[in-house]
Amino acid sequence: DTEVTQTPKHLVMGMTNKKSLKCEQHMGHRAMYWYKQKAKKPPELMFVYSYEKLSINESVPSRFSPECPNSSLLNLHLHALQPEDSALYLCASRGAEGQGDTQYFGPGTRLTVL
């Protein structure tokens, strides 16, 4: 099973709201990623977690706050977002070196900020 799940599928929020995106995988992968994808563009890396520790933050504004409560779960907490943050947010997990370093992506959360 190479499934990564994400909830919710769609999210509409105002600029003063606080919401969270959730990502889950049960493949035993120890690296998990958040990407942001705007229309007609490739995914852009936001955060990388390795063994539940934040290892990469690609200069993402503090209104995005990631969390990795355990090896299967990854959250992205959202607060005071701007309309330009509207995008498809993708989660991915990566297998070990011996598994070809393949990243498996979830279906994404379509976020709209009003």
Partner 1 sequence: AQSVTQLGSHVSVSEGALVLLRCNYSSSVPPYLFWYVQYPNQGLQLLLKYTTGATLVKGINGFEAEFKKSETSFHLTKPSAHMSDAAEYFCAVKNYGGSQGNLIFGKGTKLSVKP
**Contacts to partner 1 by CB under 8 A:** 4, 6, 31, 33, 40-43, 45, 48, 50, 55-56, 58, 88, 90, 92, 94, 100-108, 110
CB closer to partner 1, 51 vs 82:
51
3-state secondary structure of 29: coil
Shortest distance (Å) from residue 95 CB to partner 1? 10
CB closer to partner 1, 2 vs 82:
2
CB closer to partner 1, 78 vs 94:
94
Residue 9 is encoded by which pair of tokens? 């599928």
How far, in Å, CA of 30 to CA of 5, rounded?
16
Shortest distance (Å) from residue 78 CB to partner 1? 19
Provide the 10 A C-beta neighbour count for residue 51: 10
* 3: nearest Cα among 79, 112, 105: 105
The answer for 42, left when phi > 0, alpha when psi is -120 to 50, beta otherwise, is beta
CB closer to partner 1, 22 vs 107:
107
